[in-house]
Amino acid sequence: MSPHHVAPRPLPLAPLALALASLAVLGATATGCAEQASIGFNGPAVVALDLPVAQLDAVDVLFVIDNSLSMQDEQIELADGIEVRLFAPLLGSGLDLHIGVISTDVGTGDNMVGGCSNETNRNGDNGVLWQPEECTAADNNFLIDSPSTGDRNYEGDLGDAFACAGLIGTDGCGFEQPLESMRRALSDNPANAGFLRDDAALVVVIVTDEDDCSANPDLFANHDADVDSDLGPLDSFRCFEFGVTCADGPDDPRAPGRRQQCAPREDSLVRSVASYVDFLSDLKGGRPLVHVAVIAGPTDSIEVIENARRDNIPSLALSCGSESDESGFGASPAVRLEAFANSFGPRGSFESICGRFGSSREIEQLADRLRRETARCLSGDLADVDRAAGMQPVCRAYLRNPSAGSPNLDLARCGTDSGGTCYRLIREPACRTAHGLAVELGGSAPPPDANVVVECLANVP
């Protein structure tokens, strides 16, 4: 990123900690059953739950950290708060952890851009997990901590071990490509063998002060191009021009002025955001096993200005921070990364790298939704047919696609002597909803590749 700085503020790690710590409550103990009214639906219904039946006991966490010149302060903030805000809650939950760190540097291909590609290395760090030898006590390039087996490959605190790798440096390519780096890290990269587990949830955490510029290397060609050329000057503005489209603003993408209604371009040299969403979903057999957290520049202010250091060259104004203050850091609007996070619905979160989490109610609500999902909590405003007798929802449950090509399999309530897999509604303290209800499966084991779906009669005011 261009070296314009403002006073640093703490990174918003709290929403990330809440979201990831919520994965732990999948195995929470039921504390009481809720009666379910045995009447049929005669009104609108809501899907109160749709999650895999497989029990979660392992999480692979991949940090994608910007290692360009302007990221030193952010890396320090991330490392300083990680133990208390993230790792302690996860380890206390009993989850088996793999923790890996990669940079955003994948080079610029055959285009010899300073700090990005040279004659001996045209792929940057290429998605290889970053773990200096002094950071672990074993031959891994990622951290391992398994409360269930006692296996760990580091000494001291996990936060200190993470800081050893998380302070990844600031000598990386200025064309940040976090999504492409993520793909290379997780695409059967032999250098990362053993990190990704089939039975584990995958959490991807992206920390950067510029938007994603994952692109065909041709985007970085023509070093001597001027503002009138097809590509424009070799500058990070190319990433915005070819990676983002805005419905409201000047027709000329290089013309100064504010932009609104911006979204990722899907038809240019900058690679499609949707392709990376599909990659993660296919990798884990569906989005419920993937959680995404992005900490980057907010998108509420998008403006093209003239570059302060190069006359007649377009530039993207910082969306947080100040162009005139050299004492800290700022960030550019991350339109592509916000869209990437939002593609995962309630399992994706986006937060400003310059803001404070305490003022962000939306992220708190997102973290709460993640917690409810991983605890198999029922969501939505459910009808109560008998308030005097306690919460009496009207629900039905079934297994969706229990095997390839088979129809949905309806589930009976446990205790009805129906045989097979059954379900019951329980009161679960981890479910921070008005009704506090979760679903618990009983009877015979369900097919491991199925989803349990609960539909309930909706409350109609």
pLDDT in tens, 344-364: 887 788 888 886 433 334 434
pLDDT in tens, 77-94: 777 766 656 666 566 656
The predicted pLDDT at position 342 comes to: 94
Q: How far apart are CA 408 and CA 447, in angstroms?
A: 12
The predicted pLDDT at position 244 comes to: 94
Neighbours of 195 (CB within 10 A): 22
The predicted pLDDT at position 210 comes to: 93
Please state the rounded mean pLDDT for residues 217-226.
86
Q: How far apart are CA 214 and CA 177, in angstroms?
A: 4
Nearby residues of 196 by Cβ (< 8 Å), 6 or more positions away: 60, 98, 186, 202, 283
Please state the rounded mean pLDDT for residues 47-59.
79
Please state the rounded mean pLDDT for residues 184-205.
91
Nearest to 123 by CA among 207, 180, 197, 45: 180
pLDDT in tens, 99-151: 999 999 998 888 888 888 888 888 889 999 988 877 766 678 999 988 888 88
Q: Which residue has the higher pLDDT, 365 or 127?
A: 127
Name residue 396's beta-bridge partners: 455
The predicted pLDDT at position 127 comes to: 94
Tokens (6 digits) for 22: 């919520």
DSSP string covering 238-286, please? HHHHHHEEEEES-SSTTSSEEEEEEEE-SSSSBPPHHHHHHHHHHHTTS
% pLDDT > 90, the chain? 29
The single-letter code of the amino acid at 219 is L
pLDDT in tens, 235-286: 889 999 999 999 988 888 888 999 999 999 998 999 999 999 999 999 987 6
Where helices occur in 284-320 by DSSP H, the ranges are none
Q: How confident is the model at residue 21 (pLDDT cuts 50, 70, 90)?
A: very low
Please state the rounded mean pLDDT for residues 418-434.
83
The predicted pLDDT at position 378 comes to: 86
Nearby residues of 344 by Cβ (< 8 Å), 6 or more positions away: 277, 287, 290, 291, 292
Res. 19: pLDDT tops 80: no
Q: How far is CA 128 from CA 46, 248, 294, 381, 445, in A?
A: 43, 39, 20, 45, 39
Domain boundary assignment for the chain: 13-28+56-374
Q: Which residue has the higher pLDDT, 154 or 341?
A: 341
Mean pLDDT of the residues in the chain: 80
* Rg (the chain; Cα; Å): 24
Q: How confident is the model at residue 390 (pLDDT cuts 50, 70, 90)?
A: confident
- pTM of the predicted structure, to 2 decimals: 0.79
Nearest to 56 by CA among 307, 373, 401: 373
Secondary-structure percent of the chain, ordered helix, strand, coil, rounded to 5: 25, 25, 50
Fold of 13-28+56-374: Rossmann fold (3.40.50)
Res. 229: pLDDT tops 90: no
